[in-house]
Structure 1
Amino acid sequence: MDEAATGRATTRRMRPHTALARIRAGAGWIGLLAGGATLAAAAVPVLAPAYLAGRLLAAAEDPGALAEIRLERAATPERLEAGLDAAIAAEDEDLARSFLALAEARGLPVDPARRAGAEALAQGRVARAARDFAAGAVSGSAEGMAGLAGTLAADVTGIGDLRDLLREGGRYARAEPYDPLLLGMALVGLPLTLSTWTAGAGAGPRAGLTVLKAARRGGRLSPALAASLGRTVRTGIDGEALARAVGASARLDLAGARTAASLAIRPGPATRLTALAGDALALGRRTGQRGVMQVLGLARDPADLARAVRLGERLGPRTRAALALLGRGALALGAGLAALASALLAGLAWCLGLALFCRRLGLLIGRMVWRRPRASAACPGEVGAIGAG
């Protein structure tokens, strides 16, 4: 009897503890379900931006891959139609064909009327070329390859560089406001003109400098790029040699002006300008003259032009349309780097939350499994105590 009473007393003492354990287990499951619901609700809004941010950050050094990723969202039918209409209105045949190529690559339909309008631009090609050539030769602006040819015709004779050297160099000598970029390109361009005349070695850089000058005169150069190049030139000018070059230009002494010009700008800035001219020429071969002007209007530093060359290698005829839709976003991550990093961190935090959820789920399931043997083991004692009673 004593043993039976003791068993019943023990059972009564265990019941409150068992009830409390069940309440705790239930609360644990409720908390786990709430956490799981929160993770499920946050999955799409957190993971989708985090995945995109990871792809963009991984492609940060590859402009072509970066543009391809961003075009997945930017190249909508509405934006492609608007871009194609703008290209047709501007009589920009290359840009119109670029939008058609992008639409084809994305598998998007193009309205037959718009396609016909783009193809009709080819009919006025000769008239536009003659107009652009005349404007390039007279004013130094360059619209299309014909405009560049007209500008180059003036520059390759040295007349364009002499004109810029006299004007900007004279202002420099009088301590008046001057354009350091036009002055620097004239100083670099005159010796290149001589190389072009004698051996043809400077023809490529000479043409690239002409593109840069045309962009500067036409207001196509971005303020950031113009300021960056201007600072480079200012630090490299030799005032005495520049005065000699200006004097020779005033006497129309082309040979003397070239010799003095080569000494008036230091090798470092001259090399940077020549390299930039080479990138402009390489880009022009892939995107056309107007494509170069697009990039020069977006670039913030010379490195952006080198990125644009790599972009052209990847996208080919779609390059200009990508630049029109994405802007500088086709070349670099830009100011959104902090937002991308935040999205990626949010995704990592979600993954950490999922790991903690799985850990908690495993603990709760483990407690359920390991409690049952103890409960079963207690039953024989209780039965024996009752039988003894």
Structure 2
Amino acid sequence: MRRFLAAAGFLLAFAGAAHWVVPMGREALALVTARDDAAGIADLQLAGVLTPERVAQEVDAALAEGDGEMAASFVELAQARGIPVSAERRARAALANAPGATFVRGAGRFGQGFLTGEAEDLAGLAGATAGDLTVWGDVRDLGREAWHWASGEPVDRLMVNLAGAGIVATGATYAAFGTPLTLRAGLSVLKGARRAGVMGGRLAGHLATTLKGGSKAAAARLVSDLGTAGTRAGTRATFAGLRHVDDAAGAARLRRLAEVKGGQTLAVVKTLGRGALFVTEAMAKLAFWVMAAVLNLFGLVSSFNAMVVATLRPLWKKKPRRSPFLPA
């Protein structure tokens, strides 16, 4: 009886713990399995944080700041995940992104960014990036760095390298009728990120090391990945993701996220931050939950087996043994 009660107690304890240990372990295992798929990581992590209340809060905050792009990204993300958004919020987000409204707000700053490459806001940054898609933007930046050199001021060698590569890429784009367009777009993204200060020191160092090492193919893949991300998700979303990119692997993850999420990418990065691309920071915690779930399942099976054995033990009949010394 004592064995039965002990086994039953363990079974109840493991069953109670399974209510929260097993689901957490299953979620952790899914995250660990999807660690190389940024889109899969984002989907799994959004399930726990993106609620209707969070969406409404983010949309209202973006609209209050006049940020129609962010509001529209959250509306698109919510609709893709089946989260209800009020008709009034959808209408306000659509109105904030109407072509006429955005043109009136940013036409002058766009032109200034196109001509000078200097930007104080998103409209100016868009103009600077548009200038980069032509030879003008690269010549402009090379001329600026040449003036810095002649004046004895510090020269941004990475910007010089990017502008020089941009001239070559632009010529190749026209010669091949637009074939290497993602490479050209990626260079524009990197130059814009450098000007906006969103390119981390690790990524800049990785690019410099890659170019010094003569691995031009690897550098071209990284730039093309960023170009694809910018084409699919937009320049601003790519800049937001670049804050968390340190190397070519991170650029590939950002490209994957942009390819799958498109216009939702900006909202995804705003919600999850670095967690939209990586799970390495939480890997130890995830491994703990996987192990806890496995041990819990093992405990359930073992305690159930012990309880069954304790229940059937009294029913077993022991056969009397014959002494080997007794005559047959």
TM-based fold match above 0.5: yes
Deviations 1:351-373 (A, max 9, x none): 111221122123212312214x8
Q: Is residue 2:126 matched to residue 1:151? A: no
Q: 1:368 to 1:181 in 2, by over 3 A?
A: farther
Give the aligned partner of residue 216 of structure 1. Answer: 194
Q: Aligned residues: percent identity? A: 31
The residue correspondences of 1:1-389 to structure 2 (distance < 5 A) are 26-121=1-96, 122=98, 123-137=100-114, 138-141=116-119, 143=122, 146-152=126-132, 155-156=135-136, 158-163=138-143, 165-166=145-146, 179-196=156-173, 204-233=182-211, 235-236=212-213, 267-268=214-215, 270-371=216-317
Between the aligned partners of 1:186 and 1:168, the Cα distance in structure 2 is: 15
8 Å Cα contact 1:295/1:308 also seen in 2: yes
Partner AA of 1:56 in structure 2: L
Identify if the C-alpha distance between structure 1 residues 159 and 310 changes in structure 2 by more than 3 Å, giving closer, same or farther: same
Q: TM-score, normalised by structure 2?
A: 0.83
Contact persistence 1:182–1:216 (CA under 8 A)? yes
Aligned residues: 314
Normalized per residue, the structure richer in helix is: 1
Question: In structure 2, how many angstroms separate the alpha carbons of the residues matched to 1:33 and 1:140?
Answer: 72
Give ranges in structure 2 of 5+ residues lacking alignment: 321-328
Specify whether residues 180 and 359 from structure 1 end up closer, same or farther in structure 2 by C-alpha distance, changes over 3 A only. Answer: farther
Larger radius of gyration: 1
- Name the aligned partner's letter for residue 139 of structure 1: G
Task: For residue 317 of structure 1, report the CA deviation from its aligned partner.
Answer: 3.1
* Aligned counterparts of 1:164 and 1:368: Cα–Cα separation in 2: 93
Q: Please say if residues 55 and 74 of structure 2, whose CA atoms lie closer than 8 Å, have aligned partners that are also in contact.
A: yes
Amino acid at match of 2:107: A
| Cα pair distance change 1:40/1:153, threshold 3 Å | closer
Alpha-carbon separation, structure 2, partners of 1:197 and 1:157: 16
Comparing 307-316 with 188-197, greater Cα deviation is found at 188-197
What residue is the counterpart of 1:21 in the other structure? Answer: none
Structure 1 residue runs without a partner (length 5+)? 1-25, 237-266, 376-389
Distance 1:355-1:162 versus aligned 2 partners, 3 A rule: same
Q: Normalising by structure 1, what TM-score?
A: 0.71
Counterpart AA for 2:132: L
Q: Which residue of 2 is the match for residue 22 of structure 1?
A: none
Separation in 2, partners of 1:349, 1:190 = 60
* In 1, Cα distance between equivalents of 2:223 and 2:205: 17
Q: Which runs of 4+ in 1 moved over 4 A?
A: 167-171, 196-204
Deviates more, 1:161-170 or 1:100-109: 161-170
Separation in structure 1 between the aligned mates of residue 190 and residue 207 of structure 2, nearest angstrom: 11
Hey, what's the Cα distance between the residues in 2 that align with 1:204 and 1:226? 19
Letter in 1 for 2:203: L
Distance 1:37 1:197, change over 3 A: closer
